Amino acid sequence: MIRLFKVKEKQRELAESANGKPPVKKQSAGELRLQKDISELNLPKTCTISFPNGKDELMTFEVTIRPDEGYYLSGTFVFSFQISPIYPHEAPKVKCRTKVYHPNIDLDGNVCLNILREDWKPVLNINTIIYGLYHLFTEPNHEDPLNHDAAAVLRDNPKMFESNARRAMAGGYVGQTFFPRCI
């Protein structure tokens, strides 16, 4: 019986190619949900989305955040999103491609945002994640850090943290770590 379905599918593909039409690629449930999420995006004015592989490849895209307040005012931070075919049942993989001095983003670009980990639920969407990332720049959280050194400075000396964040965004060293310019 299974073999019969494979034969019928092969016959349909041959018939379509004989008609001169390319075979139609079926979209996964994740792609359909992502299409819906993207069509309903309501981004803050400081955020943009781009598709480096073209609009046909929705499962990989970038979000650029330019905070208009807080420690990271005027910085430009790029995040890559990789969406699983089983989205929304699995959270997107998000990495910060801009090296940043931040308590919730480590030097490898890993992001500590609860909705990308233990608090992910299928009812959440891309818009929610982007607002969560934006919130990391307006209100960095020293209580749940990936970069423990930055978190300690933020907790113990906010003025020094602000100075370090500014130096890193302008392009320079903070401690032993060099940060490329992102302003």
pLDDT, one tens digit per residue, over 127-181 is 999 999 999 999 999 999 999 999 999 999 999 999 999 999 999 999 999 999 9
Higher pLDDT, 15 or 140: 140
Residue 183: predicted pLDDT: 85
Closest by CA position to 140, among listed 39, 64, 71? 71
Is the predicted pLDDT of residue 108 greater than 80, yes or no? Answer: yes
Residue 81's contacts (CB-CB under 8 Å, 6 or more residues apart) are: 60, 61, 62, 63, 92, 93, 94, 126, 129
Residue 37's alpha-carbon distances to 19, 54, 87, in angstroms, are: 34, 17, 11
Residue 23: predicted pLDDT: 55
Closest by CA position to 58, among listed 33, 76, 88? 33
Task: Quote the longest CA-to-CA distance of the chain.
Answer: 71
Is the predicted pLDDT of residue 27 greater than 90, yes or no? Answer: no
Q: What mean pLDDT is reported for the chain?
A: 90
Confidence of residue 16 (pLDDT cuts 50, 70, 90): low
Is the predicted pLDDT of residue 35 greater than 90, yes or no? Answer: yes
Catalytic residues: 112
